[in-house]
């Protein structure tokens, strides 16, 4: 009982949580003083045993109560000390000097959206998770097409997938609206790819115009106007190409903005930079959404690609690293 009394006195004076815990184990632990005292009861006579057991129980109660109070007080004190130490002086002068237009990707995206919405294109964001029909079949991408391969596409268990391009938004728009349709879809797209020129997540802008009498001349005018507005005065070159969802299809190049076509590393000495893909909407796509016989055009471009060219950034991966110096330089 003397040892127990001493422990109770010690408890009064404890100044830190570590010592408090040591003391708790010494008294209340499995092999602690109390357990030992209770074990010793069996050697006593009945009357004495009862009296002593009551005394031990009373002790246990007062020790536990005091321990709980001490613990609470010490924890509050510790928090107070930490808050003092980690205090931030918000009145200090700002050492961050650089002004910035924001992240190059957001800045580029906003510029593109502004350009097209000012010309009557309605902005669609679309869902990131799509089904096979909207991402592939409806866009005339048949089952054996390489774009569907497991190594390119992130699939979910239930045949859903992360959209590999913004084109599913075209399908949704044509399924839910009656022409004329004039829209752009903007947002993240996903493919299983990672190197200096590919990242698993990238962003696209997609344009779609559906109306009777729409022809290639309209498409050319819209895109040439866009490139000149975006990059300043550039020459534009159209090369025939192939995409499953457009017919005819074209790739669009513009004169190199870095060397004015004298030849440089960026344009690989050709004087031209690839910037866009475009074409007239394939009749099969119209058939898939119940708009047979309709005319329209579509185009697509990568926001990262345009940001790299317009902000003179040469490593795609730097967009996804949080380097303030890059943002400040920009």
From residue 249 to residue 288, the character string flagging contacts with Zn ion as x (rule: CB under 5 A) and all else as - is -------x-xx----x--x---------------------
CB of 314 to Zn ion, least distance (A): 13
Residue nearer to Zn ion on the CB measure, 267 or 309: 267
Closest CA to 120 of 183, 179, 204, 172: 183
Which residue lies nearer to Zn ion by CB, 205 or 308? Answer: 308
Helix (H, G, I), strand (E, B) or coil at 145: coil
In angstroms, what is the minimal distance from the CB of 267 to Zn ion?
3
CB–CB of 316/280 below 8 Å? no
Q: Give the separation between CA 209 and CA 309, rounded to whole angstroms.
A: 26
Residues numbered 97-156 forming contacts with Zn ion, rule: CB under 5 A: none
Which C-beta is closer to Zn ion: that of 82 or that of 268? 268
Number of residues that bind Zn ion (CB under 5 A): 5
Instruction: Please list the residues that pair with 236 across neighbouring strands.
Output: 254
Site string for Zn ion, 213-252 (x = CB under 5 A): ----------------------------------------
Residues written for the chain: 330
Between 28 and 259, name the residue whose CB sits nearer to Zn ion: 259
Q: Residue 206, annotated ligand binder?
A: no
The residue with tokens 């237009």 is 101
Q: Which stretches of the chain are assigned E, i.e. beta strand?
A: 122-124, 129-131, 160-162, 181-190, 201-210, 236-243, 246-255, 272-281, 296-302
Question: Could you tell me the smallest distance in angstroms from the CB atom of residue 238 to Zn ion?
Answer: 19
- Asked if 313 and 105 touch (Cβ cutoff 8 Å), the reply is no
Sign of CA dihedral 115, 119, 120, 121: negative
**CB of 291: closest distance to Zn ion in angstroms?**
41
Distance separating alpha carbons of residues 117 and 13, to the nearest angstrom: 73
Please state the closest distance from residue 87 (CB atom) to Zn ion, in A: 54
| Nearer to Zn ion among residue 210 and residue 256 (C-beta) | 256
Q: Using CB under 5 A as the criterion, which residues of the chain lie in contact with Zn ion when the complex forms?
A: 256, 258-259, 264, 267
Binding site: what residues are annotated?
A: 247
Binding site for Mg(2+): what residues are annotated?
A: 247
């Amino acid at each position: 009982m003397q040892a127990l009394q001493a422990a109770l006195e010690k408890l009064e004076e404890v100044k830190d949580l570590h010592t408090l815990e040591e003391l708790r184990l010494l008294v209340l632990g499995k092999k602690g003083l109390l357990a030992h005292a209770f074990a010793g009861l069996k050697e006593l006579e009945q009357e004495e045993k009862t009296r002593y057991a009551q005394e031990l129980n009373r002790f246990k109660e007062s020790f536990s109560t005091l321990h709980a109070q001490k613990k609470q007080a010490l924890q509050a004190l510790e928090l107070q000390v930490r808050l003092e130490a980690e205090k931030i002086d918000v009145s200090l002068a700002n050492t961050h000097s650089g002004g910035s237009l924001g992240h190059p990707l957001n800045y580029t995206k906003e510029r593109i959206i502004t350009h097209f919405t000012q010309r009557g294109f309605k902005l669609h964001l679309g869902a990131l998770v799509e089904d096979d029909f909207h991402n592939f079949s409806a866009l005339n991408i048949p089952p054996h097409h390489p774009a569907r391969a497991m190594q390119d596409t992130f699939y979910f268990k239930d045949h859903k997938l992360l959209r590999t391009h913004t084109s599913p938004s075209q399908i949704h728009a044509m399924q839910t609206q009656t022409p004329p349709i004039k829209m752009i879809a903007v947002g993240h797209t996903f493919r299983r790819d990672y190197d200096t020129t590919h990242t698993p997540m990238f962003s696209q802008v997609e344009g779609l115009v559906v109306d009777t009498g729409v022809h290639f001349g309209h498409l050319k005018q819209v895109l040439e106007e866009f490139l000149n507005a975006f990059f300043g005065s550039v020459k534009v070159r159209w090369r025939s190409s192939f995409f499953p969802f457009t017919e005819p299809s074209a790739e669009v190049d513009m004169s190199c903005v870095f060397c004015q076509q004298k030849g440089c590393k960026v344009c690989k000495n050709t004087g031209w930079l690839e910037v866009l893909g475009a074409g007239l909407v394939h009749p099969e796509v119209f058939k898939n959404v119940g708009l047979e016989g309709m005319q329209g055009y579509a185009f697509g471009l990568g926001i990262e690609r345009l940001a790299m060219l317009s902000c003179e950034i040469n490593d795609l991966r730097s967009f996804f690293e949080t380097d303030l110096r890059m943002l400040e330089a920009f």
